[in-house]
């Protein structure tokens, strides 16, 4: 026979009045437990009464938890919310793991209010016993259903970082890291990203040793011992995901050597055959950007000369010969070489960084004929670069504030960064012997602004003398600081079109080479530099495909892939 509302209140009164003699009224508590088989009103009362006297009847602990669990699974959402709200009151001693396990399973609900209630309940038991709560969560992540696993991982990824240090102690963080390593043995791409972000934020892993452990974890996931299958999009995607997660961990003390080596030995030789996991992604540029970002943190490399040679070969591929240098007339006057600035910036930057480790590479390791060919390509690229930089500056001249925030001008600013970077690096390589001293910030990376130095306090003599500080005389320019890439008269015109900055962020240029007229073009450009009409004309003819700009692939959210 079902328990009535009156009976529930009467038994509640008996227990409330018993005080020290609660254990003598086991029958009254059992009657309250039976309330879960009543109607909606009886169930709501039972959901409140059961946890209130739970600790006084240890022999009925299992029955009480099971009764509350029945209410958590009731068809009536209001009853479920009430039961879930009271669940943390059962989280004592050995019950913490079980309650956490139950709450983790309840994350699968599709009711927003109920889902939020589960989150609140989990956070509350976290503060009682973090390690016990984590045990319940990781148990479901490792063994639970897919929907429960997915939501439990997202819960940890979003909530752990909000917990205070007195909850997330060193012991607790060590436990999180240990359990996460177990989960990472079989994860999807999205799960891998979430878990890596979670453990990367742990305070216990902020040391050099901690970051090195994280890199080792990523190396295992990337499977760098296996050769790359460029035709498999899942394999390519896994490498990209792992490299992106490893990038923030690299520093002068935590090296990127294994990743840079793998890219040189397995990725660059297959660059043109890589299968993109996303149709809109320029996979070649994405790979080259990752390599460029990693290269400054590369340590000692076993096969440095061979890997540098691979990088050099790939760089040469993207630096065309002048049309009159191409054999068999492969490039006619109507089809000029395409200067792919974004690709060249990445390859040139990577070569420049690794070249520091073997500065005599271009002097002693490359034969004379190959070096001569490279310098011809460099010179041709640099000449087209100078024309392009000049036209970009002319198009941006006088524009400030909101004018620079338009989509078109943002593209031009990025293009100017890319071309300036290439210009600086090419100048280094034209030194004899080649120099590797210049520093540039990759065009897609934010510029690191140095902290302003505090103004020097004037001495008492300077303050008391009444004389002004001596004006510093600007040093004379060094002979080797002069510009050496001015386009020769009569060969290169300033007529350049087909500028693209596609979905991947690639900047390229199709150069038009005229037999005569460069001097006139340059002169007219100088006259138009300060005139609004001249600036507008350059703007209209320079970049006809600006509307194709989109964000760089670095902003595209990761896709889910199986990492088994």
What is the H or E stretch that residue 508 is in? strand 507-513
The alpha carbon dihedral of 385, 386, 387, 392 has a sign of positive
CA distance 309 to 302: 13
**pLDDT tens, residue by residue, 359-396:** 999 988 888 899 999 999 999 999 989 999 999 999 98
pLDDT of residue 327: 53
User: Cβ(261)–Cβ(299) under 8 Å?
Assistant: no
pLDDT of residue 508: 61
User: Cβ(15)–Cβ(50) under 8 Å?
Assistant: no
pLDDT of residue 507: 63
pLDDT of residue 558: 35
Instruction: Cite the beta strand spans of 151-274 per DSSP E.
Output: 187-188
pLDDT of residue 335: 65
CA distance 367 to 353: 21
Q: Which residues contact 379 (CB under 8 A, 6 or more apart)?
A: 485
Question: For the chain, which residues score pLDDT lower than 70?
Answer: 1-2, 324-335, 448-564
pLDDT of residue 324: 64
pLDDT of residue 509: 55
pLDDT of residue 23: 78
What is the H or E stretch that residue 161 is in? none
- Six-digit token string for 454: 């505090």
**pLDDT tens, residue by residue, 60-112:** 999 999 999 999 999 999 999 999 999 999 998 889 999 999 999 999 999 99
User: Cβ(517)–Cβ(348) under 8 Å?
Assistant: no
For 358, 486, 493, the CA distances from 385, given in Å and listed in that order, are 27, 10, 12
pLDDT of residue 402: 84
CA 86 to chain centre: 40
């Amino acid at each position: 026979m079902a328990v009535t509302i009156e009976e529930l209140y009467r038994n509640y009164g008996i227990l409330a009045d018993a005080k020290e003699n609660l254990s003598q009224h086991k029958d009254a508590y059992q009657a309250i437990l039976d309330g879960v088989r009543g109607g909606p009103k009886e169930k709501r009362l039972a959901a409140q009464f059961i946890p209130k006297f739970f600790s006084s009847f240890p022999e009925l602990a299992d029955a009480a938890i099971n009764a509350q669990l029945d209410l958590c699974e009731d068809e009536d959402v209001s009853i479920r919310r009430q039961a879930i709200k009271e669940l943390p009151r059962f989280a004592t001693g050995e019950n913490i793991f079980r309650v956490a396990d139950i709450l983790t399973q309840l994350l699968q609900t599709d009711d927003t209010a109920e889902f939020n209630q589960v989150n609140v309940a989990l956070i509350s038991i976290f503060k009682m016993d973090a390690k016990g709560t984590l045990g319940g969560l990781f148990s479901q992540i490792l063994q639970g259903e897919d929907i429960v696993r997915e939501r439990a991982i997202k819960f940890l990824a979003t909530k752990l970082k909000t917990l205070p240090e007195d909850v997330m102690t060193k012991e607790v963080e060590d436990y999180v890291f240990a359990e996460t390593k177990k989960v990472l043995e079989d994860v999807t791409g999205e799960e891998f990203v979430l878990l890596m972000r979670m453990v990367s934020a742990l305070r216990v892993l902020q040391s050099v040793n901690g970051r090195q452990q994280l890199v080792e974890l990523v190396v295992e996931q990337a499977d760098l011992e296996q050769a790359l299958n460029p035709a498999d999009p899942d394999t390519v995607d896994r490498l990209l995901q792992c490299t992106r997660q490893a990038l923030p961990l690299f520093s002068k003390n935590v090296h990127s050597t294994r990743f840079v080596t793998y890219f040189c030995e397995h990725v660059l030789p297959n660059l043109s055959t890589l299968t993109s996991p996303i149709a809109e992604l320029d996979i070649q540029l994405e790979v080259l950007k990752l390599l460029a970002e990693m290269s400054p943190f590369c340590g000692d490399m076993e096969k440095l000369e061979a890997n540098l040679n691979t990088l050099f070969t790939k760089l040469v591929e993207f630096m065309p010969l002048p049309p009159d240098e191409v054999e068999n007339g492969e490039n006619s006057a109507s089809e000029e070489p395409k200067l792919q600035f974004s690709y060249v910036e990445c390859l040139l930057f990577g070569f420049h960084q690794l070249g520091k480790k073997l500065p005599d590479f271009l002097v002693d390791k490359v034969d004379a004929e190959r070096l001569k060919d490279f310098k011809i390509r460099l010179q041709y690229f640099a000449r087209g670069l100078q024309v392009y930089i000049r036209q970009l500056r002319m198009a941006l001249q006088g524009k400030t504030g909101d004018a620079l925030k338009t989509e078109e001008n943002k593209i031009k600013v990025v293009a100017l960064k890319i071309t300036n970077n290439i210009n600086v690096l090419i100048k280094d390589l034209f030194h004899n012997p080649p120099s590797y001293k210049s520093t540039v910030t990759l065009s897609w990376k934010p510029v690191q602004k140095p902290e302003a130095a505090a103004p020097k306090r004037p001495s008492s003599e300077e303050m008391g003398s009444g004389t002004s500080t001596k004006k510093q005389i600007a040093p004379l320019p060094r002979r080797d600081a002069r510009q050496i890439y001015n386009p020769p008269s009569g060969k290169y015109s300033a007529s350049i079109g087909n500028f693209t900055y596609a979905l991947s962020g690639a900047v390229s240029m199709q150069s038009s080479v005229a037999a005569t007229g460069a001097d006139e073009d340059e002169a007219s450009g100088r006259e138009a530099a300060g005139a609004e009409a001249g600036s507008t004309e350059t703007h209209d003819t320079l970049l006809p495909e600006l509307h194709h700009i989109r964000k760089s692939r670095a902003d595209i959210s990761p896709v889910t892939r199986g990492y088994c």
